[in-house]
Amino acid sequence: MTPEVSYVIDTFFAIFSFVLIIFMVPGFAMLEAGLVRTKNVTAVLMMNTAIYAIASMSFLLVGYSIAFGDFGSDHMSKWAAFLFQMAFVGKVINIMSGGVSERARIFPLALFAIIMSALIYPTVVNWSWGSDMLKDTFLDLNMYDLAGSTVIHSTGGWALLAAILIIGARKGRYTPTGGIRVIPASNVPLVTLGAFLLWIGWFGFNGGSVGSISSKESADAVALTIMNTNTAGLAGAITVGIMMYIRYKKLDITMILNGALGGLVSITAGPDLYNIYQPILIGAIGGMLVVFAVPFFDKLRLDDPVGALSVHLVNGIWGTLAVGIFASNPAEGITLLGQIKGIVVIGVFAFVSSYIVLFAINKIIPLKLTTDEQMEGLDVNECGLEAYPEFKRAF
């Protein structure tokens, strides 16, 4: 294949992958809008829109250079390479913002989004995928993380953990007597639509992360990556479905979709390394982890309306470990130890830096809405308009 053909095809493929990832923007927005109460839906949609706008712009102006040095790429158009990388940024912040829905103010979160996308995330990328400023230091990472189980999902998850610790739970979520008040999803079709848009976006996320499709080997790698990605999602959904059915004889679709997403996160570190059956096991464990993690975080009083800690943090870690377990290959530098080191170094950095930044922002502009504002709903207070003004609310 001539270099020009390869350049053209890889550019086209990067654009294709970018577009798929951008479907995750409405994907996250619909998922979260469906999971929160009707009085907070507009605010959630606004936050998702703000994240895409702000994070992408910050990455364009500052973050990309921190992560990769200059704009540039030999084997595809540098603009396509940028677009593909840019598509990732918002996801990290989405993970965080989703988990603090229904009580966090948009404006200070938007400030955090700027710092996350301009500094924190680019630094993580620099260490893992980019120009690697840690090279030759003792922190130098050689974790294998194809599409970001750690770099994207855990990083977002750690930031969320910091945010929940600082912001606290939604008013009324935990009763003084130690009970947990269930706050059900308000719009299940939106949840389902959002989950499937995310799922489809994942094909671009992971498939595109192979970096090239323009040789027989890389075409195989891309196709295998997408196939394994999908398989892990299937396995996550099925596992949670079976667990739900055995336990309750009821199929809670929100949990099952979270199981699918958990499976997808868990495969993300190494979908190109596995055979076609390993993802079944990895995804199934990913799904199970969600089922156990959701009530576990509730027991810790970490209020996470969309289950983002369980899906992204827990499975981000599991997925990165899974590479070390199932695809360890010391000859190519892939070891369980290297994976663990990556998880820890990035985890510490992501959590600590997010905590500091959120703590500082919280001092200046409180992140949490007052009880009255939460009662009335974020939509009216933060956005000035309701999501469904003509639909009668069933108190």
Q: Which residues bind another protein (CB under 8 A)?
A: 180, 182, 184-185, 248, 250, 252, 254-255, 258, 291, 294-295, 298, 307, 375-376, 380, 383-386, 389, 392-395
Residue 62 sits in the site that holds its own copies (CB under 8 A): no
Q: Mask: binding to its own copies, 328-367, rule CB under 8 A, as x and -?
A: ----------------------------------------
On whether the CB atoms of residues 341 and 5 are closer than 8 A, the answer is: no
DSSP 211-262: ----SHHHHHHHHHHHHHHHHHHHHHHHHHHHHHHHHHSS--HHHHHHHHHH
Please provide the DSSP assignment of 147-162 as one string: S-IIIIIIHHHHHHHH
192 binding its own copies? (CB under 8 A) = yes
Q: What does 376 interact with, of its own copies, another protein, none (CB < 5 to 8 A by kind)?
A: another protein
Give the nearer residue to its own copies in terms of CB position, either 181 or 216: 216
Please tell me whether residue 54 binds its own copies under the rule CB under 8 A.
yes
Q: Which amino acid is at 24?
A: M
Question: What residue 258 binds from another protein, its own copies, none (CB within 5 to 8 A, per partner kind)?
Answer: another protein
Query: According to the binding rule CB under 8 A, does residue 111 interact with its own copies?
Result: no
Tell which positions 13-52 bind its own copies, by CB under 8 A.
13-16, 18-20, 22-23, 25-26, 29-30, 33-34, 37-38, 41-42, 45-46, 48-50, 52
Q: Shortest CA distance to 81 belongs to which of 226, 218, 211?
A: 211
Q: How far apart are CA 336 and CA 318, in angstroms?
A: 12
DSSP 364-379: HS-SBPPHHHHHH-HI
Least distance (Å) from another protein to the CB of residue 248? 6
**Could you say which residues in the range 247-266 bind its own copies, by CB under 8 A?**
248, 250-254, 256-257, 260
Enumerate residues 6+ apart whose C-beta is below 8 A from 368.
103, 104, 105, 167, 168
Residue closer to its own copies, measured from CB, 284 or 317? 284
Distance set, CA 330 to CA 133, 141, 339 (Å): 23, 14, 12
Output 176 or 384, the one with its CB closest to its own copies. Answer: 384
Report, in Å, the least distance between residue 101 CB and another protein. Answer: 14
193 scored as a contact of its own copies (CB under 8 A): yes
Least distance between its own copies and beta carbon 324 (Å): 24
CB 321 within 8 A of CB 340: yes
Check if the beta carbon of residue 361 is closer than 8 Å to that of residue 367: yes
Provide the minimum distance between the beta carbon of 141 and its own copies in the complex, in angstroms, as a whole number: 29
Distance CA 310, CA 292 (A): 8
